[in-house]
């Protein structure tokens, strides 16, 4: 039995994992999906949320769990699981990057996002200065996030997606080989992804090699479109 901790991506929250968690639990694993600060049901004022705020929240959760965990991060918030591994390497059995940003120490998520010139989301990202956060225009939801998902997922997203803290994407990661470098990492690429495209996914896991790379022929949200296939990979880990 393993304990999985799931970290959602930009604009989302713990509802991302509502199809995957029951599959893992039926096989005897423990699965916890959290809302990051300011997201979902967490009421932290979004304008106060930084990369450190979110990392601290994940570390606090890990500190309540006795056993090592498998920490799964999606999309932008791969940066969070990397920074958590720097602070809590002894608490993590594996890091799993699901179409996620896997970037070196001293770099920012934004630096890599800018290189992803084929991604379709950027023209639809709206910055809100008062909130120091972004939202995503719903016109791009299906094409950019849910191309192979059922229509009800798009409808849910129109209700549930919320502002994403901006500062975390422009904050350099601080990682060391002594801590982060000791935690095994796995990458799951989504080969039909138009949000974090295969080009940038492959660039990242080539620059930051993983012990194994899995592929899913899905868009950006396999937890909705192919939850069983994703759960099968997680169980194989």
Q: Quick check: 222 pLDDT over 90?
A: yes
d(CA 117, CA 128): 23
d(CA 120, CA 11): 16
Average pLDDT value for residue range 209-218: 98
Label residue 237 by pLDDT band (50, 70, 90).
Answer: confident
The pLDDT tens digits of the residues spanning 116-144 come to 999 999 999 999 999 999 999 999 999 99
How many Cα atoms occupy the beta-carbon half-sphere of 221 within 13 Å? 26
Cβ contacts of residue 117 below 8 Å, gap of 6+?
none
| Domains of the chain from N-terminus onward | 3-236 (3.40.50.1820)
Label residue 44 by pLDDT band (50, 70, 90).
Answer: very high
The pLDDT tens digits of the residues spanning 64-85 come to 999 999 999 999 999 999 999 9
Q: What is the pTM of this model?
A: 0.97
């Amino acid at each position: 039995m393993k304990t999985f901790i799931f970290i959602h991506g930009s604009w989302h929250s713990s509802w991302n994992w509502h199809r995957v968690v029951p599959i893992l639990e039926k096989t005897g694993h423990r699965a916890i999906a959290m809302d990051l600060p300011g997201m979902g049901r967490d009421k932290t004022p979004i304008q106060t949320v930084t990369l450190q705020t979110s990392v601290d929240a994940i570390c606090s959760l890990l500190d309540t769990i006795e056993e090592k965990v498998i920490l799964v991060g999606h999309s932008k918030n791969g940066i969070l699981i990397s920074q958590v591994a720097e602070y809590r390497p002894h608490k993590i059995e594996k890091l799993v990057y699901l179409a996620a940003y896997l970037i070196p120490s001293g770099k920012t998520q934004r630096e890599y996002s800018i290189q992803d010139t084929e991604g379709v989301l950027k023209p639809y990202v709206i910055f809100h200065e008062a909130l120091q956060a972004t939202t995503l225009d719903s016109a791009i939801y299906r094409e950019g996030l849910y191309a192979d998902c059922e229509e009800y997922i798009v409808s849910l997203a129109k209700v549930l997606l919320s502002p994403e803290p901006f500062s975390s994407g422009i904050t350099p990661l601080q990682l060391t080989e002594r801590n982060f470098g000791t935690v095994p990492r796995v990458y799951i690429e989504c080969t039909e992804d138009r949000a974090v495209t295969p080009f940038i996914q492959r660039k990242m896991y080539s620059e930051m090699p993983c012990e194994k790379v899995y592929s899913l022929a899905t868009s950006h949200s396999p937890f909705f479109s192919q939850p069983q296939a994703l759960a099968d990979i997680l169980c194989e880990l």
